[in-house]
Amino acid sequence: MLKSKIVFSLFLLVLGLTILNCSSKKAPGIDFFHTHWSLQEMDGKSYVQPGEAKSVFIQFFEQDKLAKGFAGCNSFFGNFKWEKNKLKIGALGSTRMMCPEADFENRFFVLLGEIEAYEIVDKQLSLKTKSGTVLRFYPVIE
């Protein structure tokens, strides 16, 4: 009987600690890192994914300081530097497929190379150049 009470007490203690731990966590938010950011706007124009094409996206990986994504036809990757709201994306490498939308993709790569800052407002990521051009992304929950 005593053994049952001890086991039951330990069970209640573990359950209570688990509940306390869960209730102290913040509600899930949007994290700059590891989020799949899908392009929403470029050069002040809404981006609409053509047909069944894969969406243009970027992801940032904090530990490796690696940015990678898809630009509409080619996958890309490169290093980045990040501090507070400042962001600098280094030289990008990419696959070299022949693309019907090469002008779009080239402009996207140019803008990524000019990024100097970022901010997340209302769950949208804005990457900003010195001239004020913005690439705007929304998170894709996978």
Mind giving me the DSSP string for 57-105? Answer: EEEEETTTTEEEEE-SSSEEEEEEEEETTEEEEEEEEE-----TTHHHH
Determine the pLDDT at residue 29: 62
Question: How far is 90 from 29, CA to CA, in rounded Å?
Answer: 27
The model's pLDDT over 118-133, given as tens digits with 9 standing for 90+, comes to 999 999 999 999 999 9
For the domain that residue 50 is a member of, what is the CATH number? Answer: 2.40.128.270
Q: Which structural domain range is residue 90 located in?
A: 36-140
How many structural domains are present in the chain? 1
Question: How far is 56 from 39, CA to CA, in rounded Å?
Answer: 5
Which helix H or strand E contains 120, and what residues bound it? Answer: strand 115-121
Q: Is residue 117 part of a domain?
A: yes
What's the average model confidence in pLDDT over 99-106? 87
* pTM of this structure: 0.76
The model's pLDDT over 37-91, given as tens digits with 9 standing for 90+, comes to 999 999 999 998 877 778 999 999 999 999 999 999 999 999 999 998 899 999 9
Q: Is residue 129 part of a domain?
A: yes
The band of 99, judged by pLDDT with boundaries at 50, 70 and 90, is confident
Q: Is residue 89 part of a domain?
A: yes
Determine the pLDDT at residue 100: 82
Residues 127, 118 contacting (CB under 8 angstroms): yes
Determine the pLDDT at residue 54: 86
